[in-house]
């Protein structure tokens, strides 16, 4: 049994996320967590809401609420949606938690002690129209590197180049659109990332098993242009974690807070501390996941995120960990994703273009979305959601292949043998042949899941479902029954065991349907198959079962057309 720590990039607090956000981090992380638990591993799966920074302040102001109240409410909304999509977090925390305040201030203090913090007087953009300093992401302009006209002051989303606001051409306030900007002097703390370049480069080079997407982005940021730069970690804001050295005040930094991208990744660690406190566990129970000197030596740490989050997780957050000179656990594997586009364009939160998590659950159960998103995960390149593809995948994979198999087997058994696993007959060459084929396929499925090759795993799982349908069609128990009821009973007994097997294998992808299948079979044995002979004998003759409702229904053309029109334009 291994110990596996899993974190998903934490979603920002200001609003409900769309399906592209979901498939870029939380959903594949949940798939992997469920699979690892099913294989008997000890898993700690953590996520949280990212609550600090200007976007939270502006969203709260727009909602007419104090920012702390707004964040608390939106945390509950996001937590409920996570439950709706069956995301199996061990804890879903908050970056505004007392634990994250303490840890962030602790790390800042350790970095300062180690000579890795520098106070810098800098000239920062101030908006006269807004009456405030503008955080990096609230200054827009043309990227000096690629010419993208909506680059933000911290990063160009088009070419991913790390920027400073003063680099932008024709800058403007993203809050008001005003170009009445001036540069004023202010003092901030900088993390001396350049001092850690050798450590970071050696660490990244050692990760030879990382996805190409992850490594290429990390090395681009490390080496592109002027290379790794020191990074400001404080901001002139009121909402955030106050700047302190541990518990001590930081002279000259009064009224400032830590930059949200400094404190947000530290919340991964803080979330485990929140988990321990919530569950009445001693501090040692969370530290054993994170401290190499307290039991984390054997932990495998895996992060899931969209490609836009890779630079901070491969450079800035590791720099924070390394620079503390404490034995904290560094990530072992980063599974990064490209973007999911929407129906010929992009998802747009501001325009409401695309399907958002709450809307998705309002029209179909979570499993429909989980299956499509995971089986089309944007791993090697961007992928695209279209309603035609979604309809076809649901109708063919879920309804025609898996759902149809479950329905045909259970209904035939009920009509001929009653709602019990039938006795009689014996397995023959056909069953042995399928057993052998499934053994090979399940090993391939395991290999893909272990490697986090999500689309390949989904394709293998679908092939396993298809194999059962082909067996049923070939064995034709409805024909055999007329001449040899005992042999028909053996075919159906084998097929009922296939349903149980499918429930176990499918649970990481479609947990609700898998549970319904398992409950229908009257079986609590969810042991992952090791030997196919034993797997096909879990349901003994005479065991009662119930005939379930059709697990999945088909999507009609009329529904598809209506949804396509509904989610094409403005949200709300």
Residue 420 DSSP class = B
Determine if residue 413 is labeled as part of a ligand binding site.
no
Residue written as tokens 């008997």?
Answer: 40
Determine if residue 47 is labeled as part of a ligand binding site.
no
**Taking the chain, what is the end-to-end CA distance rounded to the nearest angstrom?**
48
Separation between Cα atoms, residue 356 and residue 217, nearest integer Å: 28
Q: Is 341 helix (H, G, I), strand (E, B) or coil?
A: strand
C-alpha closest to that of 470 among 448, 498, 442:
498
In DSSP notation, 55-107 reads HHHHHHHHHTS-HHHHHHHHHHHHHHHHHHTT---SEEEETTSHHHHHHHHHH
List C-alpha distances in Å: 128 to 138, 167, 220, 259, 473.
14, 20, 36, 22, 74
Separation between Cα atoms, residue 192 and residue 261, nearest integer Å: 15
Determine if residue 71 is labeled as part of a ligand binding site.
no
What's phi and psi for 414, nearest 5 deg? -60, -40
Q: Give the tokens for residue 392.
A: 């076809």
Determine if residue 156 is labeled as part of a ligand binding site.
yes
Is the distance from CB of 178 to CB of 127 less than 8 angstroms? yes
Pseudo-torsion of CA 288, 290, 294, 299, nearest 10°?
A: 70
Determine if residue 143 is labeled as part of a ligand binding site.
yes
Q: Which residues contribute to the annotated binding site for Zn(2+)? A: 143, 146, 156, 159
Q: Which residues contribute to the annotated binding site for ATP? A: 349
Q: Which residues contribute to the annotated binding site? A: 143, 146, 156, 159, 349
């Amino acid at each position: 049994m291994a110990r596996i720590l899993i974190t998903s990039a934490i979603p920002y607090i200001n609003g409900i996320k769309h399906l592209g956000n979901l498939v870029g981090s939380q959903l594949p992380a949940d798939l992997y967590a469920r699979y690892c638990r099913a294989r008997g591993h000890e898993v700690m799966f953590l996520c949280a809401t990212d609550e600090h920074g200007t976007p939270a302040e502006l969203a709260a102001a727009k909602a007419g609420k104090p920012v702390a109240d707004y964040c608390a409410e939106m945390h509950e909304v996001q937590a409920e949606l996570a439950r709706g999509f069956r995301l199996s977090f061990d804890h879903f925390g908050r970056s505004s938690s007392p634990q994250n305040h303490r840890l962030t201030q602790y790390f800042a203090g350790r970095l300062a002690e180690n000579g890795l913090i520098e106070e810098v007087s800098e000239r920062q953009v101030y908006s006269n129209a807004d009456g405030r300093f503008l955080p990096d992401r609230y200054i827009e302009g043309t990227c000096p590197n690629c010419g993208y006209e909506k680059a933000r002051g911290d990063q160009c989303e088009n070419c991913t180049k790390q920027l400073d606001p003063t680099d932008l051409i024709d800058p403007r306030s993203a809050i008001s659109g005003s170009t009445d900007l001036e540069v004023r002097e202010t003092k901030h703390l900088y993390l001396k990332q350049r001092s850690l370049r050798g450590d970071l480069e050696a660490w990244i080079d050692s990760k030879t098993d990382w996805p190409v997407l992850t490594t290429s982005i990390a090395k681009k940021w490390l080496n592109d242009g002027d290379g790794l730069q020191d990074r400001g970690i404080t901001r002139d804001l009121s909402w955030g974690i106050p700047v302190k050295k541990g518990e001590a005040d930081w002279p000259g930094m009064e009224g400032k807070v830590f930059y949200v991208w400094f404190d947000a990744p530290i919340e991964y660690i803080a979330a485990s501390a929140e988990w321990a406190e919530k569950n009445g566990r001693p501090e040692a129970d969370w530290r054993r996941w994170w401290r190499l000197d307290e039991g984390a030596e054997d932990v495998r740490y895996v992060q899931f995120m969209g490609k836009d989050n890779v630079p901070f997780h491969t450079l800035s957050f590791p720099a924070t960990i390394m620079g503390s000179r404490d034995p904290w656990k560094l990530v072992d594997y980063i599974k990064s994703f490209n973007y999911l586009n929407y129906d010929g364009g992009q998802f747009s939160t501001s325009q409401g273009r695309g399907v958002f998590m709450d809307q998705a659950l309002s029209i179909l159960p979570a499993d429909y979305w989980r299956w499509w998103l995971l089986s089309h995960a944007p791993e090697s390149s961007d992928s695209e959601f279209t309603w035609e593809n979604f309809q076809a995948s649901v109708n063919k994979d879920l309804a025609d292949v898996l759902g149809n198999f479950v329905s045909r087997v259970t209904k035939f058994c009920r009509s001929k043998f009653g709602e019990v696993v039938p006795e009689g007959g014996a397995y023959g060459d056909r069953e042995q042949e399928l057993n052998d084929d499934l053994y090979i396929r399940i090993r391939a499925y395991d290999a893909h899941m272990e490697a986090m090759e999500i689309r390949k795993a989904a394709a293998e799982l679908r092939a396993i479902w298809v194999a059962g349908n082909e067996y049923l069609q070939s064995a034709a128990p409805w024909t055999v029954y007329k001449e040899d009821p005992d042999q028909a009973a053996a075919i159906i007994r084998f097929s009922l065991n296939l349903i149980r097997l499918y429930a176990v294998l499918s649970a990481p992808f479609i947990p609700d349907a898998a549970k319904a299948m398992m409950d229908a079979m009257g079986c609590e044995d969810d042991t992952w198959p090791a030997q196919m002979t034993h797997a096909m004998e879990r349901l003994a003759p005479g065991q009662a079962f119930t005939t379930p409702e059709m697990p999945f229904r088909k999507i009609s053309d009329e529904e598809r057309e209506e949804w396509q029109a509904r989610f094409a334009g403005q949200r709300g």
